[in-house]
Amino acid sequence: MTQKSFKTDNVVQELAAKTTLHSGVVILAYTLTWWVIIPIQSHFLASMATIATVMYLPFGVKLISAFFEGWRSIVFMGPGVVMANVIFIQLPFSSVLTYIALFVSYATAPAIFFVLDWAARYDRRELCAARAWRTLILAGGISSILIPVLIHVIYHDVIPQDEFILSLFRFMVGDMTGLLTVLAILALTFRVLRIKASSPSLP
């Protein structure tokens, strides 16, 4: 095997592994949102529109994916997003608006991270843990405002005008709580792993 073909195989394997990981986590986030969070929300908050969840986990996943992978996160999450749309969201692929909405939803976070890196003149992936968390929260806050605004502009014809602002607010809250929930799960996971790593192994 030549060195060139070896490098090509490594690239393909990395692409397949990251696509499987990111798409798998996206599908898991949608599954938990649609099959766990929304039924609980419908029971206790029956007046809230079903499509606007109080805790939108896929938002947290897309932010973290964009933080680590930048623009490549769109490719890695792509298959999972398509499957999630078929199973859960069910936006019509025959409509141009569907492709615009999906692109806005998953390209906004990488764009924000790119701008933040450019403005601060650093690579977010080389930051210490504390600054990395703050960067994630900042990008999440901006994205939780910008993405719902753009999505509501795209679908302004089908959103009742008297519910437009309230719907927009619900999406913003759901996105941010989804991000904070995913970050809390990650922080807890890392903490448990650190404790296990530092604990002396039994003979």
pTM of the model: 0.89
What pLDDT shows up at residue 1?
Answer: 52
What are the residue boundaries of the structural domains of the chain, listed by start? 3-193
pLDDT number for residue 121: 85
Task: Reduce the DSSP state of residue 203 to 3 states and report it.
Answer: coil
pLDDT over 70, % of the chain:
92
**What type of residue sits at position 24?**
G
The answer to whether residue 2 scores a pLDDT higher than 90 is: no
